[in-house]
Structure 1
Amino acid sequence: MLLGKLLPREGNFFEMFNQHADRVVEAARAFSQLVANYGDAHLREQYNRDVDNAERAADRVTHDVNRLIHKTFITPIDREQIHTLINTMDDVADLIQDSAETMALYDVRHMTEEISRLTELSVKCCERMREAVGMLAKLSEKGTPEAALKTCEEIDKLESDADRVMRSAMSKLFREEPDVREVIKLKAIYELLETITDKCEDVANVIEGIVLENS
């Protein structure tokens, strides 16, 4: 009984999930602008900073959530679900930053149509992920669980689209690119970008579990 009085019964986890999802979308959109303006060194540097700032802000939210789990006596959903959700979301932010850093480290000189397409799908996945996360606090409302599950299905479809784009990109790369160094660079970028959508799908799977268990 004393422990229950000393610790808060519920932390504001849903709001923190929303804050983190906002930062992920910020990072994704900044990365999209980086790709769109890659030929402009000044803009490229600016959008790289924007990606880094969004990723660091997401890290802080993740840290706060993981710390709050240990300070909260009764959580609104299962502790393990909270831990898995926030850390999987944070993996998305990390992968976006990794993609931007890899482009710089590998000295990628130009963007391909496939990079642009994979980036577009990644942004859409992150936006849908934010929509699904935003529904978690309202699962008791009529129609919300169904809407959340539908949004998760949309993420799954986007991930499948990204997988098809990557396979096509790899086939084209190995058939048409004569420079082995370019093959290595672009292969790494394609794989990273497709992994962003994979990780969004992982988030969707966690959300589906939460919805089914709590609605």
Structure 2
Amino acid sequence: MLLGKLLPREGKFFELFNQHAERIVEAARAFQQLVDNYSDPKLRDQYTRAVDNAEHAADRLTHEVNRMIHRGANPPLERDQIHKLINTMDDVADLLQDSAETMALYDLRAVNDEIRRLTDLSVKCCERLKDAVALIGRLSDGPTAEAALKTCEEIDQLESDADRVMRSAMSRLFREEPDVREVLKLKAVYELLESVTDKCEDVANLIEGIVLRHA
């Protein structure tokens, strides 16, 4: 059965997916503000809380989707697809929260250009993820399915860009940073931010699978 025919009756799932994607973008943009204002302790705390709030809201949406699945709701996609999609999306929000918490717990001295570049790529990935998620309720339309696949390809490219930035950042870190403690702190932050883009790519791969199966 085409997804477009299912949407009026079972659109609640798609609505929750979209709301979750919006919370991911909210968390990503709050994290970017945290990075941009890192030298101001008051703003740093404010934006860390904003990331936390967005992640908690995403958690609630994840629980609602999983509750609907287990309650026996008739979903528009296979239950396993829905479960993997919403939980992988939630991993993105979790990693953004982990990144903010790690910077606070490790008392990172300052952010550098590598963190800013990885943050920018993470935000772009999250924004494109939101665009892709918004399309999965209308995959019976050929151009929409093609647009979803194109958006997923863009996420893949952004993840590749983040990989390159990560490799360069690690090389520079181990060559130029004399403080071992700072090396460990920055390495942890780099890895978490690169993981955000990795997880966005995982979501994109799931969406590609949904497109190919249902379009």
TM bucket (normalised to shorter chain) is over 0.9
1:142 shift after superposition: 3.4
Supply the distance in 1 between the matched residues of 2:129 and 2:153 (Cα, whole angstroms).
11
Supply the distance in 1 between the matched residues of 2:45 and 2:98 (Cα, whole angstroms).
15
Supply the distance in 2 between the matched residues of 1:116 and 1:106 (Cα, whole angstroms).
18
CA RMSD of aligned residues (A): 1.0
> Alpha-carbon deviations, 1:6-63, whole Å to 9, x = none?
xxx7461000000000000000000000000000011101101100000000000000
Unmatched runs of 5 consecutive residues or more in structure 2: 1-8
Does residue 186 of structure 1 match 2:157? no
User: What does residue 135 of structure 1 align with?
Assistant: 135
User: What does residue 64 of structure 1 align with?
Assistant: 64
1:108 shift after superposition: 0.1
Q: Is the 8 A contact 1:11 1:68 kept in 2?
A: no
* One-letter amino acid of the structure 1 residue matched with residue 83 of structure 2: H
- 1:143-182 to structure 2, matched below 5 A, reads 143-182=143-182
Q: Is the 8 A contact 1:129 1:204 kept in 2?
A: yes
Q: Provide runs of 4+ in structure 1 moved above 3 Å.
A: none
Q: Is the 8 A contact 1:11 1:72 kept in 2?
A: no
TM-score, structure 1 as length reference: 0.94
1:187 shift after superposition: 0.5
TM-score, structure 2 as length reference: 0.94
- 1:191-206 to structure 2, matched below 5 A, reads 191-206=191-206
User: What does residue 5 of structure 2 align with?
Assistant: none
User: What does residue 5 of structure 1 align with?
Assistant: none
Larger deviation: 95-104 or 137-146?
A: 137-146
User: What does residue 74 of structure 1 align with?
Assistant: 74
Change (3 A) 1:35 1:73: closer
> Alpha-carbon deviations, 1:75-132, whole Å to 9, x = none?
1011000000000000000000000000001000100100000000000000000000
* One-letter amino acid of the structure 2 residue matched with residue 178 of structure 1: P
Q: How many residues align?
A: 207
- 1:74-93 to structure 2, matched below 5 A, reads 74-93=74-93
**Identity, % of aligned pairs?**
73
Does residue 116 of structure 1 match 2:150? no
Supply the distance in 2 between the matched residues of 1:186 and 1:142 (Cα, whole angstroms).
44
1:73 shift after superposition: 4.2
Does residue 41 of structure 1 match 2:41? yes
Unmatched runs of 5 consecutive residues or more in structure 1: 1-8
Supply the distance in 2 between the matched residues of 1:169 and 1:203 (Cα, whole angstroms).
25
